[in-house]
Chain A
Amino acid sequence: MSDKKYPAPSELRRFVHDGLEKAYDFDPLDPMVGLTAKELSGPVLERRTVLRLLAASGALTAAHLMPAIGVAPAAAASGGTLRCGWSGVGEFRTIDPAQINQVLLFQISSNVLSGLTHINPQLQAQGDLALDWEVNDAGTEYIFNLREGVTFHNGDPFTADDVVYTYQRSKDPDKSIHSRVIGNVTDVVRITDHKVKILLAKPQASMLVKTLERASGRAMTIVSRGAIESMGTSNYGLKTVGTGPFRITDHQLGQSMTLERFEDYYDPDRPKLDKIIIIPIIDPEPIAAAIEAGDIQLIGGNPIAAELTDRFEANPDLNVHIVPGPGFQGVFLNPWRDPMKVTDFDKPVEELKTEPGFMVRLAIAKALDRDLFIKQALFGRGIPAFGTINPAMGFYFDDGIGANSEQRFDLAEARKLLADAGFPGGEGFPTLKLLHTPSNRRQCLIIKNILKKNLGIDIELDTKDFPVLIDQFDTMNYDLCRLGSGGDYDPDDGVVDWMQIDSKFNGRNRDKAAMRFGFFSDKEVDALITEQSVTVDPDDRKALVQKVNKITSDKVAQAFLYHPPDVQVTRKEVNFPAESRIPGLVDMDRVTLSR
């Protein structure tokens, strides 16, 4: 990716450590996290300010502190057409941010739409559609001065009315699936055509760098009222009109999407490319052949199949860049099914360990050799997981959990637990069904083999299409289920959505009379999760998050397996700035092609 030498690991660790220390250096009781109203005001936030806001919101990751190693601009040239293959998807069902719930879709929308703010390659949260802004001392009122002369791709002028419209649309659950994201926003008021006020119920440090950010934010990604009304919601989703650097000029559903340079983009220096063609390619072998043949030059979308990474790295025509990815993957064990039955997790771990059902759960989790699994299933690329909090979360990730979690691999202990539960050597243990999708079949075969070898228990693979799997997962109709999460950048993504009794993924369609909770419930965990969501002090929040992570790990909320890596593959002629290398995003407004 670059001719520059990447820093040595020890230098990198020191660099990141120093950056983290500075980022968290402020009075914990200060709702403004040590920043003044002036520092929070735009048009540009200093790097120090950005890092501090990210830290306070829990969104600071090691990736933000990595030194830039981009290609020297002199080697690059403007213009040209970039052909991209989007992996693991058959069609781009919508680019309307109000309906986007997949990372691979907001990878595209980030190139077509704008927000009030966007984090630039120098990690400065600069105004995107906002020219500058002021924040009151309480941090509950933001006044944005909007850029003038900005137009949507259809020629409509952008004004404060579009910000208000976007807010009104997003807070309506009938029109947007992200209404809860802006729950802290009490109102958005038009002051003039190019001035708007946003009112919050309470200070929110993540407001500028997350909620209003154009890519992952989505709730306040600015949409065109005129286009929605004239095109209808369905067609707007297919050829979304925004104010971004590229406009969608063609979209053949399931075949390709064409983006072209928007000539009236507010920054005359961007974008560099003339055209981008994005092709959804669902299977791994065709996408591999396509990039090797030069039919495509960049792979975006879902993570590529693990078995392809070695092949790409060996290809001298390709660049492969790997960073820790957001998310966790593992095996859920149904606590309402014998022999893993646990009907009450509200006990200390040592007490739970006296119950046969919990002994079985822990035995299975401890018998899963994660290093072996990663080697066989992921060809060595992945980080062993012991909780939902992943390395991409940076500051919040507990890199010691692998050594002190109850789930850590210990074969002797696992076998003893199983024997104490009444199944020595797996004798008499019933065959359990492992529910999974076809794409995870290979992983599940490896899990089956590991458990057979290590515990002597039999696992039967139960392959189901995703709609069926989700139905069974939501109704708690399974023994074991191979499932996980992706796109988790904030601790809330990993704990609020999964580990509370009322979490949206925690057996929401189960028979609540028969099953008090879904796959897990612990009152202390519920309370800790609620508390960490509103805790501004980063050290306190970190302590709460790591405590939640430890409890859910020790009590086997899931048999965690791995955190997936984020692998980016491009052809050598593609100059992709390293500063844009945020896990999960593919911003192409600065991409150039070498001639």
Chain B
Amino acid sequence: MTGYILRRIFGAVIVMWAVATLVFFMLRILPGDPLAAMLFEADPSAAEELRIKFGLDQPMIVQYWKWFVLLLQGDMGNSIYGSRIPVSQILIEAAPRTISLAFLAFCVSIVIAIPAGLISALRRGRPIDHGVTFIAFLGLSMPDFWLGILLIILFAAKLGWLPAIGYEPLSAGFWPWFSHLILPATAAGTAFSAIIARMVRSSMLEVLKTDYVLVARAKGLSPWRVVMGHAFPNALIPVITVMGIAFGLLMASAVVVETVFAIKGLGRILIEGILNRDYPVVQGAILVVSFIFVFVNLLVDVLYVIIDPRIRVD
């Protein structure tokens, strides 16, 4: 088990390095000069001074080597665009917002998806199954930014129950944190709840046909015990894979919801960094996002072992 985890960690580091290197060179191939745009109204010589200061006048491979050496020392560099503060400072402020949003969105999607998937599987072919399927497709089809705007209009502008925009950290209190995040989390989590609900349904349908479930029923166990004690735990295994991917995707796709709700998370930092050609910020954000993605998937693999002891890792 330990060996397996160590091998996975090593693999994860390689993946992260490969992603970061790819992004490094792709960014510099993109057209658009970050300094010209930032200093559009200033003296033209100011751009050249800054270019030398940030080493952007040097060959790409030299820039890469310098960046990599600094990265090994834990230095992600400084933002080029405007603030010129350390990238790590920007990411440390932004990461908790995105992680909070993704976590809450994940919880929302699970709370909706699992009961919906179970009901749909147990009442297969009946009106409630069709209803759940319809709602699932509706959730999947709705753009999250559109849903987010609807939620703002209803719960913030019309009813005044919840704030329309912004973020409060958990340190400000549970309710301020939760009230600012519940709308964006619902907007982000709805589409994923549809995917997970369908996954739960099909996985349950497979498991309900197995011999051991038939035996459990034959033994006279209650329906609740049959479903929750025998069928559902086995149906969860493929669902966990999807959940792991969903969490990673939630982190990456949060940018749209972050923009609608004016939350400065990793997604927005990434997009604005790309638009402003703020290379160090984009590289740093990509590293963080890829780390989270890889870590979550590693966690999923470890969870398999805990849930199903039949899975061998040697």
Contacts and interface: CB of A to CB of B under 8 A. Distances in A.
A173 B44 CA distance: 10
Interface string A153-197: 000000000000000000001100101100000000000000000
Given A254-B264, A256-B166, A234 B85 contact: yes
B306 interface: no
Contact of A293 (B42, B156, B277): B156
Interface string A563-582: 00000000000000000000
Contacts of B31: 468, 471
22 contacts: A90-B272, A91-B83, A94-B83, A101-B40, A233-B84, A234-B84, A252-B93, A254-B94, A254-B268, A255-B166, A256-B166, A281-B165, A282-B259, A282-B262, A286-B165, A290-B156, A293-B157, A293-B160, A296-B165, A467-B33, A467-B37, A470-B37
A238 interface: yes
B177 to A, nearest CB: 14
Contacts of A238: 83, 85
Given A91-B83, A234-B78, A177 B163 contact: no
By DSSP majority rule, is chain A's interface helix, strand, loop, or mixed?
A: mixed
A504 B42 CA distance: 8
B164 interface: yes
B24 interface: no
In this complex, the interface size class of chain B, counting residues with CB under 8 Å from chain A, is: 35 or more
B43 A179 contact: yes
A339 to B, nearest CB: 26
Contacts of B83: 91, 93-94, 234, 237-238, 253
Contacts of B307: none
Interface in B143-190: 149, 152-153, 156-157, 160, 163-167
Given A253-B83, A292-B157, A467-B36, 8 more contacts: A179-B43, A234-B84, A255-B263, A286-B261, A290-B165, A467-B34, A508-B44, A509-B36
Interface in B1-57: 31-34, 36-37, 39-46, 49
Contacts of B260: 283, 285-286
A492 to B, nearest CB: 13
Nearest to A233: B84
B146 to A, nearest CB: 10
A283 B259 contact: yes
A85 B262 CA distance: 10
Interface in A231-255: 233-235, 237-238, 252-255
A6 interface: no
Tell which of B84, B261, B263, B276 has the most Cβ of chain A within 10 Å: B84
B152 A286 contact: yes
B264 A90 contact: yes
A22 to B, nearest CB: 35
Given A174-B49, A238-B83, A252 B264 contact: yes
B125 interface: no
A301 interface: no
A238 B82 CA distance: 10
B164 A290 contact: yes
A470 B40 contact: yes
Interface string A241-282: 000000000001111100000000000000000000001111
Given A234-B78, A253-B85, A465 B262 contact: no
A282 B275 CA distance: 13
Contacts of A295: 156, 163-166
Interface string A445-470: 00000000000000000001111101
B277 A467 contact: yes
A470 B277 CA distance: 12
Contacts of A430: none
Contacts of A253: 83, 85, 90, 93, 264
Nearest to A90: B272
A101 B40 CA distance: 9
Contacts of A235: 85
Interface string A473-495: 01000000000000000000000
Interface of A: 85, 90-91, 93-94, 99, 101, 173-174, 177, 179-180, 233-235, 237-238, 252-256, 279-283, 285-287, 289-290, 292-296, 464-468, 470-471, 474, 504, 508-509
B44 A504 contact: yes
Contacts of B46: 173, 177
Given A234-B85, A252-B93, A467 B276 contact: yes
A474 B160 CA distance: 48
A-B interface, 3 closest residue pairs, ranked by CB to CB distance from nearest? A93-B82, A254-B264, A467-B32
B36 to A, nearest CB: 5
B81 interface: yes
B269 interface: yes
Contacts of B263: 255
Contacts of B166: 255-256, 279, 295
A90 B160 CA distance: 25
A101 B43 CA distance: 11
A474 B36 contact: yes
Tell which of A237, A253, A254, A285 has the most Cβ of chain B within 10 Å: A254
A173 B272 CA distance: 28
B268 A289 contact: no
A470 B166 CA distance: 31
A318 B149 CA distance: 20
A465 B44 contact: no
Nearest to A238: B83
Nearest to B84: A234
A468 B32 contact: yes
A292 B260 CA distance: 15
Given A91-B264, A465-B32, A474-B36, A289 B45 contact: no
A466 B275 CA distance: 7
Contact of B39 (A177, A279, A282): A177
Contacts of B164: 286, 289-290, 293, 295
A235 B89 CA distance: 11
A173 B47 CA distance: 11
Nearest to A474: B36
Contacts of A234: 78, 83-85
Contacts of B81: 93
Tell which of B32, B46, B49, B90 has the most Cβ of chain A within 10 Å: B32
B264 A470 contact: no
A177 B153 contact: no
Nearest to A252: B93
B77 to A, nearest CB: 13
A290 B263 CA distance: 13
B275 A255 contact: no
Contacts of B45: 173
Contacts of A180: 43
Contacts of A94: 82-83
B269 A470 contact: no
Nearest to B78: A234
Tell which of A233, A289, A509 has the most Cβ of chain B within 10 Å: A289
A289 B154 CA distance: 10
Nearest to A256: B166
Interface string B81-112: 11111000010011001000000000000000
Nearest to B31: A468
A201 to B, nearest CB: 20
Tell which of A233, A285, A464 has the most Cβ of chain B within 10 Å: A285
A102 B263 CA distance: 22
A294 B32 contact: no
B298 to A, nearest CB: 30
A586 to B, nearest CB: 19
Nearest to A251: B83
A555 B279 CA distance: 41
B33 A255 contact: no
Contacts of A292: 157
B56 to A, nearest CB: 13
Interface string B41-75: 11111100100000000000000000000000000
Contact of B153 (A99, A256, A289, A467): A289
B156 A289 contact: yes
